[in-house]
């Protein structure tokens, strides 16, 4: 495919046509919010409507429950938008295209957008945030509220329905624990990649399994059912061939995809596979505990309730050997107030709900002032 | 630099000139052997003379001690020649150039070569061996003896002065244990790279240290002196910056270069650094023990003597915290017959000595037959 230069005009060409056809009808655009979740594998953008109006019944409920959030109008998917992986220009074009596509599919244009919450991996420093905010500002009219966050924040919000409070544990190919307090403090643990010890991640579990096969083969470790199971799955005839297989493609996700075989072997009673999963449980739980302790999410006596949002393939396996359940058990021993949540919406919706929440509170404040 | 096509003629052009000038003098070329050690960082070729003649005194000493090997006539160095890393064509050109340079420096041509022993990393299967043998055959006259080995074999031979018997433990950036019995059986342990559990390697030790810093920082692990020591060495101001530093360059050697800081911290009493080195010692010893057990190098009662050749930066540190010494202690508890050897010659010389040994034995056999 020929690489096209970044051409801003082309991306938003649909708006002129749409506004032209809208002028002919009695159509009036609905106010919308865009939520984006940009991971290292794909980028998702959802468009949700915002049609909340303050009434005498809800104006004083600033600290009360928020209304049920609206459903998704449109959803668009694109590739990686982590600027560390694909570079600034490509990341920016991907994000802009996926937002344009979500708006096009929902029959909206930028003039209908009230807020954008962009949660992307690779946003670790305020400098990353400012850089992204400044080009978002060039795309959207000045009244649009813009929020830029790390993608973990969208995952947390997908479990808390947009409230920034509690801890999220993500365990897919990688792993990270991220926590927020109601007064805006935050902390993270792990998420530093496989070289720097993300041992409970899908990559970590699978790499340990491959290592166990090599060690059994060369006499350093005990025999394990992982050998036959994984060699068969990869269509290899000897553990020696694992070396070539492992290094021919450096993708972490390719190795992490072997986790279900480790779970199967553990369920069938293999001691080595069991040990690997038990170690992973300890690692994942220790990330959450470190965040909870640092932020004091558990309160002074350690028993306060806090949301614990669980996200990612490793925690959702839902097999007989249930990694997520074991992690929760391990955390609950130290922090009985942890309230586990398996989100029912995706992180992009979580991102949209963050902005949605903000706008609801803003409406209430404005109504009180007026 | 412009990449030049592979041009066989150019590499060996010097021979025509050399033979021309030799014809004018009373010069007669000395018989030589080439030994090559091709690692993933560099390739070394040495040229040694072979001037052994069977006499009545030494003809029957087939099993007796070999004569003192000769010194090196010339040495040449080139880049990586691992075909897995640089590709077949580049590896082949590097090997051919480094051999030509060693011959040129020793004032010899290919017609003076009696044997070539090429020990390169990446030779793991007979197919690798056959492929390399077949192109070596195109370069050298048909009477030249050719040997192709894994680079671990050269390291072993550098400690045993060319005898293929015993176990070699290499621990530099990576680690591998390789053993040979006198009847030609062989076994290896580890050497599968960092993903597959080469935990006692320089890379493994340093990656554990970086991980310990991240864990101390995010609350998962205890405080460690490694933090200040390594951040200062890398000119970083926070453990968060380690993530960027680690992934901006995937070279294993760059991370392995941090080992001396781990040793310093352990010597200064840091518990975390000590634990990392103690674990590395166990890992390295377990590789050797696995090889010794599989080959029965220790004899039936486990007390037979066998050479244990120790090679690589991790084992040669020679500091107060002496990793190599601790590894030997750990192995000796199980196998008191292990005789540690720190080679006095480099692996390329070990490769040359393998061929040299073969030619000496061949001379003796020929003398007995005649």
Residues of A with CB under 8 A from a CB of B: 84, 124-125, 187-190, 192-193, 195-197, 207-208, 210-211, 214-215, 218-220, 240, 242-243, 246-247, 250, 255, 286-287, 290-291, 293-294
Model pLDDT, residue A86: 80
Q: Tell me the per-residue pLDDT of A283-292, one tens digit each, with 9 for 90 and over.
A: 999 999 999 9
CB atoms under 10 Å from CB of B58, counted, come to 18
d(CA B146, CA B142): 10
Residue B255 host element (H or E): helix B252-256
The dihedral formed by the CA atoms of A6, A8, A10 and A15, expressed in degrees to the nearest 10: 160
Residues A219, B291: C-beta atoms closer than 8 Å: yes
- CA distance linking residue A323 with residue A282, whole number of Å: 10
How much is the average pLDDT of A166-182?
94
**What ipTM was predicted for this assembly?**
0.86
- Residue of chain A whose Cα is closest to the Cα of B286: A220
Band the pLDDT of B107: cuts 50, 70, 90. very high
Contacts of B190 in chain A (CB under 8 A): 214, 218, 220
pLDDT of residue A316 exceeding 90? no
DSSP per residue over B198-232, as a string?
Answer: -TTSHHHHHHHHHHHHHHHHHTSS---THHHHHHH
CA–CA dist A262, A266 (Å, integer): 6
> B187: which chain A residues are within 8 Å (Cβ-Cβ)?
218-219
In chain B, residues with a C-beta closer than 8 Å to the C-beta of A190 are 214, 218, 220
| Per-residue pLDDT, B83 | 78
Residue of chain A nearest B222, judged by CA positions: A290
Q: How far apart are CA B336 and CA B311, in angstroms?
A: 20
Q: How far is B243 from chain A (nearest CA, A)?
A: 6
User: How close, in Å, is residue B351 to chain A by CA atoms?
Assistant: 24
Q: Among the residues of B74-149, which ranges form H helices?
A: 83-86, 88-105, 126-139
Give the distance between the most distant pair of CA atoms in chain B. Answer: 78
Query: Do B246 and A124 lie within an 8 Å CB cutoff?
Result: no
pLDDT band of residue A1 (cuts 50, 70, 90) is very low
Q: Rounded to the nearest 10 degrees, what angle do helices B226-234 and B202-218 cross at?
A: 110
pLDDT in tens, B269-278: 999 999 999 9
Q: Which two tokens stand for residue A222?
A: 């005990």
Least confident of A77-86, A350-359, B58-67, B182-191: B58-67
Structure tokens at B107: 């004032």
Say if CB A30 and CB A41 are below 8 A apart: no
Q: Give the per-residue pLDDT at B193.
A: 86
- Candidate from A81-95, B101-115, B343-357 with smallest mean pLDDT: A81-95
Reported as a single tens digit per residue, the pLDDT across A102-157 is 999 999 999 999 999 999 887 877 888 899 999 899 999 999 999 999 889 999 99
Say how far apart CA B350 and CA B306 lie, in whole Å: 18
B204 Cβ neighbours under 8 A, 6+ residues apart: B175, B194, B198, B280, B283
Q: Look-up: residue for tokens 């390739």? A: B43
Nearest to B196 among A196, A197, A211 (CB): A211
Determine contact, residues B36/B45, Cβ cutoff 8 Å: yes
**Residue A235 reports pLDDT greater than 80:** yes
Of B190, B218, B242, the CB nearest to A218: B190
Q: Which domains does chain B have, with CATH numbers?
A: 8-149+346-369 (3.30.420.40), 194-336 (3.30.420.40)
For A219, the closest of B197, B243, B293 (CB atoms) is: B293
Predicted pLDDT of residue A144? 95
User: B109 vs chain A: nearest CA distance in angstroms?
Assistant: 38
CA A212 to chain CA centroid, Å, is 30
Pairing mode, strands A43-49 and A32-38? antiparallel
Structure tokens that stand for A22 in this block: 């809208």
Query: Which pLDDT does position A24 carry in this prediction?
Result: 58
Which residue is associated with the tokens 């880049």? B79
Q: Which of B122, B196, B245 to mutate to test the interface with A (most CBs of A within 10 A)?
A: B196
Interhelix angle A126-139/A88-105, rounded to 10 degrees, is: 50
The rounded distance, in Å, linking the Cα atoms of B215 and B234 is 18
Distance (Å) from the alpha carbon of B228 to chain A's nearest alpha carbon: 17
Neighbours of B186 (CB within 10 A): 16
Distance, in Å, from the CA atom of B152 to the CA atom of B38, rounded to the nearest integer, reads: 10
Question: For position A5, what pLDDT does the model report?
Answer: 45
Residue of A nearest to B252 (CA): A195
Which of B123, B175, B219, B230 would best serve as a mutation to test chain A binding (most A beta carbons within 10 A)?
Answer: B219
d(CA A134, CA A127): 11
Could you tell me the sign of the dihedral formed by the alpha carbons of A73, A79, A84, A87, in that order? negative
Q: What whole-number distance in Å separates Cα of residue B273 and Cα of residue B265?
A: 6
Closest residue to B220, CB basis, from A220, A242, A290? A290
């Amino acid at each position: 495919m020929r690489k096209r230069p970044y051409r801003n005009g082309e991306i938003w060409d649909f708006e002129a046509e749409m506004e032209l056809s809208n002028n002919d009808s009695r159509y009036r655009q609905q106010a919308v919010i865009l939520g984006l979740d940009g991971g290292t594998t794909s980028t998702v953008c959802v468009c949700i409507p915002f049609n909340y109006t303050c009434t005498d019944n809800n104006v004083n409920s600033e600290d009360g429950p928020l209304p049920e959030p609206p459903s998704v109008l449109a959803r668009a998917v694109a590739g990686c938008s982590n600027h560390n992986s694909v570079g600034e220009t490509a990341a920016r074009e991907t994000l802009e295209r996926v937002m344009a596509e979500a708006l096009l599919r929902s029959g909206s244009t930028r003039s209908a957008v009230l807020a954008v919450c962009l949660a992307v991996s690779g946003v670790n420093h305020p400098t990353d945030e400012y850089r992204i905010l400044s080009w978002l500002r060039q795309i959207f009219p000045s009244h649009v509220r813009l929020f830029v966050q790390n993608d973990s924040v969208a995952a947390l919000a997908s479990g808390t329905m947009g409230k920034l409070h509690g801890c999220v544990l993500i365990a897919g190919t990688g792993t990270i624990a991220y926590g927020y307090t109601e007064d805006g403090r935050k902390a993270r643990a792990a998420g530093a990649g496989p070289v720097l010890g993300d041992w409970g991640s899908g990559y970590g579990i699978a790499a340990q399994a491959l290592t166990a096969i090599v060690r059994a083969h060369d006499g350093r470790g005990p025999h394990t059912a992982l050998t036959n199971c994984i060699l068969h799955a990869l269509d290899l005839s000897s553990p020696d061939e694992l070396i070539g297989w492992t290094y021919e493609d450096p993708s972490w996700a390719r190795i992490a995809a072997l986790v279900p075989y480790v779970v199967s072997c553990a369920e069938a009673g293999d001691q080595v596979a069991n040990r690997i999963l038990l170690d992973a449980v300890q690692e994942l739980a220790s990330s959450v505990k470190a965040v909870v302790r640092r932020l004091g999410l558990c309160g002074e006596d350690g028993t306060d309730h806090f949301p614990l949002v669980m996200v990612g393939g490793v925690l959702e396996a839902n097999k007989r050997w249930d990694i997520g359940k074991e992690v929760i058990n391990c955390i609950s021993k130290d922090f009985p107030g942890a309230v586990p949540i398996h989100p029912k919406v995706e992180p992009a919706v979580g991102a949209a709900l963050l902005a949605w929440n903000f706008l609801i509170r803003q409406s209430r404040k404005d109504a009180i002032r007026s």
